């Protein structure tokens, strides 16, 4: 399924009145995981600015021990500080990478803003080296804008 075909499906999930916010987030994770072959782990981390930590939210994929990540640590922690997208074509070449699984070869993280504040991020791992394009970034930015409507 193309990103253009996925956009209305994401919006449809956001608009479902009978689902909680976490159910909507989980459904989006499942949609992306099922629809894009190289999205092998899809999840959300949410920021606690008082403790400067990220906390794991809904996700689809292999279990992770990384339920709390300090700002600055790993790719997600760096995005919490930089407020910018981070695409890692090959995690083996990244110094500040927190290994989740030996099967993970690449990662993309896009921050989630509400009223100009970075409240979290969508994090996607792939078992393929260098699959993420600018099109992935634009699509995931769209997803985050839609999710921001829930806050």
pLDDT at 91: 80
Say whether 151 sits in a helix, a strand or coil.
Answer: coil
Query: What pLDDT is stored for residue 10 in this prediction?
Result: 98
Q: Is the CATH number 3.40.50.300 carried by domain 3-148?
A: no
Asked whether 2 and 139 are in contact (CB, 8 A), the reply is: no
DSSP secondary structure, 3-17, as one string:
HHHHHHHHHHHHH-T
- Residue ranges per domain, the chain? 3-148
Residue 115 near residue 145, CB atoms below 8 Å: no
Please report, for residues 31, 33, 40, 102, 142, the alpha-carbon distance to residue 37 in angstroms, rounded to integers and kept in the order given.
Answer: 11, 7, 7, 18, 19
129: left (phi over 0), alpha (psi -120 to 50) or beta: beta
Tens digits of residue pLDDT in 42-61? 999 999 999 999 999 999 99
Task: State pLDDT tens for residues 104-132.
Answer: 899 999 999 999 999 999 999 999 999 99
């Amino acid at each position: 399924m193309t990103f253009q075909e996925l956009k209305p499906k994401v919006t449809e999930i956001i608009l479902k009145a009978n689902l909680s916010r976490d159910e909507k987030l989980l459904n989006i994770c499942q949609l992306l995981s099922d629809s894009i072959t190289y999205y092998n782990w899809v999840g959300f981390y949410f920021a606690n600015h008082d403790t400067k930590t990220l906390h794991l939210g809904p996700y689809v994929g292999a279990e992770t021990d990384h339920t709390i990540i300090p700002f600055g640590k790993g790719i997600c922690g760096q995005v919490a500080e930089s407020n910018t997208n981070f695409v890692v074509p090959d995690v083996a070449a990244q110094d500040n990478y927190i290994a989740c699984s030996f099967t993970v070869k690449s990662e993309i993280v896009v921050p989630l803003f509400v009223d100009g504040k970075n409240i979290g991020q969508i994090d996607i791992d792939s078992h393929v080296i260098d699959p993420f394009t600018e099109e992935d970034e634009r699509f995931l930015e769209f997803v985050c804008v839609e999710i921001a409507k829930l806050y």
